[in-house]
């Protein structure tokens, strides 16, 4: 019977203790401090955190000390920016003003929030002030004190000389000029802060409108060239069919390892093996930038043309380096611009997801412009310039189908698979 009561008592104490622990709501800034992290958005604030096992006032004092350390560098920057005279009594008095300014109590800076952990008994205090707000307070205080100090200093000097009234009149004129300079500096500072806020607002608006698109991975090719991107998985294969008449136009396979890609591209003419490219690509700049992300890759191609009409002895392998890149332009109808160049051809292409807000990446429009100086690389019409449009559909998670008009003569359908 006693053991039964002991079990009930143990369960009561356990659930009571669990319930009391759940009621303790530790503020986020305390949790981050305990983990050794700064407060959230720390770059936007001056702050100081004090912790004490003794009392609230001791925690408050430590918070003020940490806050004063935090703003010490800013006060020195303001001192350098505003002070023009650095000799004699004015300098000495200005140093005393800096000591006053760094006293957070005189600037109306109070404890922002307090917390006591009922479990440990520790007291926590935090002073948290936005940098823009505090900088304005410091500038106002320095302006007022500096004007008063300079005026008193000039009066003392004038008393020791003749023509006190004349000196006072001249000084008033000088003081007005100094006030005007100070006001202009304050206005300049406020304008700078306003521009900074507008920039933050613009960035947040940009993120809200284009955030998902910026995070998505750019396509790896336009119509006839593969850009600086690497496959999202280790392997990629593509089959391209000619639609008029029906034929196999090209085969492509790529394997990715680290920042390298090794690929093979085979092209057919009237179902005969016509061209072969072996490509090694190294991505030197992978999606760099916050909004207009840029990717750059360098590589080397081994190639030959008209293979089916040659004997094995006549096949002469050629080489060319290449460079390719692409940039994300969210505010240009959710588009990507791609560039490519080697000794055979130079290309620029755009892939636009104009209906991204409704269809995401399921539908895109493509346009490619090519200049081909290598005659062996041109079409049967010997065109040095090509305009190649197309439309692409996302038919499955890692499968894309592209319908395009190529080489100024044929419609092709290609299917790209990443696995």
- Distance, in Å, from the CA atom of 133 to the CA atom of 193, rounded to the nearest integer, reads 10
Q: What is the pLDDT of residue 301?
A: 95
Sheet holding 45-52, edge to edge: 45-52, 123-130, 113-116
- Distance, in Å, from the CA atom of 242 to the CA atom of 96, rounded to the nearest integer, reads 84
3-state SS assignment for residue 233? coil
Class of domain 219-418: mainly beta
Assess whether pLDDT exceeds 70 at residue 2. Answer: no
pTM for the structure as a whole: 0.56
pLDDT band at 257, cuts 50/70/90?
very high
Q: Quote the mean pLDDT of the chain.
A: 83
Q: What is the pLDDT of residue 385?
A: 97
Q: Where are the beta strands (DSSP E) in 289-362?
A: 294-305, 318-329, 335-341, 346-352
Q: What is the pLDDT of residue 201?
A: 83
Q: Please tell me which of 8-22, 36-50, 310-324 the model is most confident about, judged by mean pLDDT.
A: 36-50
Structure tokens at 415: 């299917």
Query: Which region among 76-80, 341-345, 358-362 has the lowest average model confidence (pLDDT)?
Result: 76-80
Beta-bridge mates of residue 114: 125
Give which of 362, 324, 343 is closest to 222, Cα–Cα.
Answer: 324
Instruction: Report how far Cα 359 is from the mean position of its chain's Cα atoms.
Output: 26
- Distance, in Å, from the CA atom of 237 to the CA atom of 231, rounded to the nearest integer, reads 10
Give which of 316, 286, 281 is closest to 217, Cα–Cα.
Answer: 286
**Which residues are within 8 A (CB) of 170 and not within 5 positions of it... i.e. 6 or more apart?**
none
- Distance, in Å, from the CA atom of 190 to the CA atom of 386, rounded to the nearest integer, reads 54
Assess whether pLDDT exceeds 60 at residue 96. Answer: no
Q: What is the pLDDT of residue 229?
A: 94
pLDDT band at 254, cuts 50/70/90?
very high
| 97-124 mean pLDDT | 73
Does 30-212 carry CATH code 3.40.50.970? no
The domain locations on the chain are 30-212, 219-418
| Cβ atoms within 10 Å of 251's Cβ, excluding its own | 14
pLDDT band at 90, cuts 50/70/90?
very low
What is the share, in percent, of the chain residues with pLDDT greater than 70? 80
- Distance, in Å, from the CA atom of 189 to the CA atom of 140, rounded to the nearest integer, reads 12
- Preceding peptide of 29 cis, ω within 30°: no
- Distance, in Å, from the CA atom of 229 to the CA atom of 299, rounded to the nearest integer, reads 12
In CATH terms, are 30-212 and 219-418 the same topology? no
| 118-132 mean pLDDT | 89
| 305-329 mean pLDDT | 82
Q: What is the pLDDT of residue 11?
A: 59
């Amino acid at each position: 019977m006693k053991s039964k009561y002991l079990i009930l008592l143990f369960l009561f104490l356990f659930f009571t203790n669990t319930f009391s622990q759940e009621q303790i709501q530790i503020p986020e800034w305390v949790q981050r401090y305990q983990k050794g992290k700064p407060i959230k958005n720390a770059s936007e604030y001056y702050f100081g955190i004090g912790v004490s096992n003794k009392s609230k006032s001791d925690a408050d004092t430590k918070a003020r000390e940490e806050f004063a350390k935090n703003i010490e560098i800013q006060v020195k920057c303001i001192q350098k920016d505003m002070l023009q005279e650095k000799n004699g009594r004015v300098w000495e008095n200005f140093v005393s003003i800096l000591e006053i300014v760094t006293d957070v109590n005189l600037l109306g800076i109070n404890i922002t929030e307090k917390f006591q952990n009922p479990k440990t008994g520790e007291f926590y205090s935090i002073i948290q002030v936005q940098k823009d707000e505090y900088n304005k307070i410091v500038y106002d205080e320095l302006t007022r004190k500096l004007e008063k100090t300079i005026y008193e200093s000039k009066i003392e000097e004038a008393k020791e000389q003749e023509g006190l009234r004349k000196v006072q009149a001249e000084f008033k004129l000088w003081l007005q000029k100094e006030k005007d300079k100070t006001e202009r500096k304050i206005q300049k500072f406020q304008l700078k802060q306003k521009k900074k806020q507008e920039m933050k607002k613009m960035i947040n608006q940009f993120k809200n409108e284009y955030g998902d698109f910026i995070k998505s991975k750019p396509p790896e090719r336009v119509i006839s060239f593969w850009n600086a991107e690497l496959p999202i998985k280790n392997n990629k294969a593509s089959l391209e069919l000619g639609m008029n008449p029906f034929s196999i136009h090209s085969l492509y396979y790529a394997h990715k390892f680290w920042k390298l890609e090794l690929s093979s591209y085979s092209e057919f003419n009237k179902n005969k093996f016509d061209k072969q490219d072996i490509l090694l690509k190294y991505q030197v700049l992978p999606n760099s930038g916050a909004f207009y992300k840029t990717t750059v890759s360098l590589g080397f191609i081994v190639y030959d043309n008209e293979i089916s009409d040659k004997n094995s002895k006549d096949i002469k392998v050629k080489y060319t380096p290449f460079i390719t890149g692409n940039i994300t332009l969210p505010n240009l109808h959710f588009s990507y611009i791609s560039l490519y160049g080697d000794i055979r051809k130079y290309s620029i292409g755009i892939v636009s997801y104009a209906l991204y807000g409704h269809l995401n990446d399921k539908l895109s429009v493509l346009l490619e412009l090519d200049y081909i100086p290598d005659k062996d690389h041109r079409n049967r019409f010997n065109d040095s310039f090509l305009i190649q449009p197309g439309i692409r559909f996302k038919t499955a998670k890692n499968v894309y189908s592209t319908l395009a008009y190529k080489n100024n003569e044929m419609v092709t359908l290609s299917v790209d698979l990443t696995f």
